[in-house]
Amino acid sequence: TQSLHMMAVDFGASSGRAVTGAFDGRRLSIQEVHRFENEPVQLGDRLHWDFLRLFHELKRGITKARHQLGATPASIAVDTWGVDYGLVDPQGRLIGNPHHYRDLRSEPAMKEALRLIREADLYARTGIQSSSINTVYQLFSEVQLRYEQNADDWRMLFMPDLFHYYLSGVMASEYTIASTSGMIDAAHRNWSTPILDALALPSTLLNPVVMPGTKLGEIRPDIRAELAIGAMPVIAAAGHDTAAAVASIPTDGDARYAFISSGTWSLMGIELDAPVLTEQSRRLLFSNEGGADGRIRLLKNIMGLWLLQECRRFWAMEGAAFDYAELTEMARLAPHSSSYIDAGDAVFLPPGNMPQRIQEYCRASGQAVPQSRPEIIRCILESLAFKYRQTLDEIEALTGEDIEQIHMVGGGIQNRLLCQLTANVTGRSVIAGPVEATSIGNLMMQAKAHGEVKHLADIREVVRQSYPPEIYVPEDAEEWEERYRRYDQLRAVQQAKG
Ligand code: ADP
Ligand code: LRH
């Protein structure tokens, strides 16, 4: 039988890649054809994504995929990080460069929005934890601008939708990415009119919601000509990177598991048939996002390896450049951390001097202040593992499930120390892989749209056959339980301080 050759472009918050995937009906094999940095740009008082550069990298990816395959791929789909969007005018021109979710403009906007609608009401409808990064607050901060410019005919497109629009000319909002916005009704899986009304967000901005696996259209003739390629369908696979990653978790269906999608963020959660919209899940800061198969991803956003990325960037700025393998090795050789941070605290959200912020957090909470680089990295990694343990306990409390295993996927599993720490602190086996879960999920959702696989379980079977994971078994359980208790007490004290 002939293989189906597709391509995926996965834009992460720190880097992007274009991959080709060959699916022979049983196994998928992927090849990375293009990789690039995704560096945001601070311009005056605003933090932006460099959309034009990213679109250029997308085109280079298409060219390289075509060269590697010797033919135009059978289809393409783009996935990206959540919540961000671009605005386009009726001629389809981009209104300014899309903002980065770490831009500070949405902090005051969030406060103001919450005067018009109670946070509990927002949560009861959308099931999305309140955070200044949410589309709903970003968009609210732009409403004023819209009126000034009399721009009632603009449209809002989430990042993957924006790439798809410029590839195909078709405007749509794919469900998984739209579900990150804080404007989708979790139960009805469509725009929440009461929320739009309460915040005076014009529904004319919005596009119809389409389900993952929808064929949007053909690649535009002008791009076809520019890149000298043949016809190529553009598919809305799973536009949200985390949804694509979760779709490719290689479970065997028996053990109850939680997942951690590890990259810039750590997204830790569980899959459910229906959203959990309780007061308890709201207080514990869990979100209900849309899954690639129409199920719900109940998960928590944890700062993740952003903490390490920002230290690395700062140290490089100071003239000390390290790669991630070097940083991880430094931490592996360092003694256990005597101080911890809460990897859920919003003080770590914006860019800037991260080592200093970590030190200040330790000082302010009455702990020893990590001084050296290895100490700081060790503090980050152990604190992440503790946060995972806390989150695991919360998932069990919220759902009544006994979680037996943790599946870790994404670029972050290349940090083997973090995988082992996660096993140690949670006392659960960690099943790590695949690294490129997001691209794989993207490709397999395309294969589904082509009719090559039927169900999510089939996708996972393919991934299991194609990419055997690595297993980390918990070690030194008692010591870690003791350390976790200290962390937990510290956290309780900090929380009480507010
Ligand atoms: P995103 O999609 O959010 O941009 P990725 O899934 O690509 O993130 O993961 C990036 C993270 O993976 C980096 O922040 C880094 O911590 C980690 N990482 C990448 N390569 C290595 C490596 N060789 N060793 C250890 N960690 C690594
Ligand atoms: C991870 C991610 C996460 C979102 C964040 C903005 O890349 O998509 O799921 O919350 O970016």
Three-class DSSP category at 290: strand
Give the closest residue (by CA) to ligand 2 atom 4: 82
pLDDT at 197: 96
Distance 26 CA to ligand 2 centre (A): 30
pLDDT at 144: 67
pLDDT at 148 over 80: no
Could you tell which of 264, 267, 308 is best to mutate to test the pocket of ligand 1, judged by most ligand atoms within 8 Å of the CB? 264
pLDDT in tens, 30-77: 999 999 999 999 999 999 999 999 999 999 999 999 999 999 999 999
From the CA of 332, the nearest ligand is 1
β strands within 204-309, DSSP E: 209-210, 214-218, 233-236, 257-262, 266-272, 287-290, 296-302
Distance 59 CA to ligand 1 centre (A): 24
pLDDT at 339 over 90: yes
Three-class DSSP category at 48: strand
Instruction: Report the DSSP pairing between strands 190-191 and 209-210.
Output: unpaired
Three-class DSSP category at 66: helix
Q: And the tokens for 50?
A: 């460099």
Could you tell which of 10, 85, 180 is best to mutate to test the pocket of ligand 2, judged by most ligand atoms within 8 Å of the CB? 180
pLDDT at 116: 97
More confident of the two residues 146 and 228: 228
From the CA of 267, the nearest ligand is 2
Q: What angle do CA 213, 215, 216 make, to 5 degrees?
A: 125
Give the closest residue (by CA) to ligand 2 atom 11: 81
Quote the CA–CA distance of 197 and 245 in Å, as a whole number: 33
Give the closest residue (by CA) to ligand 2 atom 6: 82
Could you tell which of 240, 262, 267, 305 is best to mutate to test the pocket of ligand 2, judged by most ligand atoms within 8 Å of the CB? 267
Q: And the tokens for 493?
A: 């004290």
Tell me what the pLDDT averaged over the chain comes to: 96
From the CA of 381, the nearest ligand is 1
Closest CA to 152 of 201, 112, 97: 201
- The finding on whether 238 has its CB within 6 A of some atom of ligand 1 is no
pLDDT at 495: 85
Q: What is the mean pLDDT of residues 417-431?
A: 98
Half-sphere exposure of 47 (CA within 13 A, CB side): 16
pLDDT at 281: 98
pLDDT in tens, 11-43: 999 999 999 999 999 999 999 999 999 999 999
Distance 41 CA to ligand 2 centre (A): 19
Report the percentage of the chain scoring pLDDT > 90: 94
- Looking at the DSSP bridge assignments, the partners of residue 16 are 11, 36
Q: What ligand 2 atom has the least distance to the C-alpha of 241? A: 8
Closest CA to 451 of 210, 124, 213, 101: 213
- Residues carrying an active site annotation: 241
Please, which pLDDT band fits residue 151 given cuts at 50, 70 and 90? confident
Half-sphere exposure of 1 (CA within 13 A, CB side): 10
pLDDT at 1: 65
Least confident range from 8-12, 151-155, 164-168, 260-264: namely: 151-155
pLDDT at 145: 67
Three-class DSSP category at 255: coil
pLDDT in tens, 436-462: 999 999 999 999 999 999 999 999 999
Could you give the dihedral angle defined by the CA atoms of residues 283, 284, 285 and 288, in that order, rounded to the nearest 10 degrees?
A: -100
**Nearby residues of 403 by Cβ (< 8 Å), 6 or more positions away:** 256, 257, 258, 270, 392, 395, 396, 428
Quote the CA–CA distance of 58 and 16 in Å, as a whole number: 9
Q: What ligand 2 atom has the least distance to the C-alpha of 133? A: 6
The predicted model scores a pTM of 0.98
pLDDT in tens, 100-134: 999 999 999 999 999 999 999 999 999 999 999 99
Distance 53 CA to ligand 2 centre (A): 20
Report the percentage of the chain scoring pLDDT > 70: 99
Determine the residue type at 282: R
pLDDT at 150: 66
Please, which pLDDT band fits residue 283 given cuts at 50, 70 and 90? very high
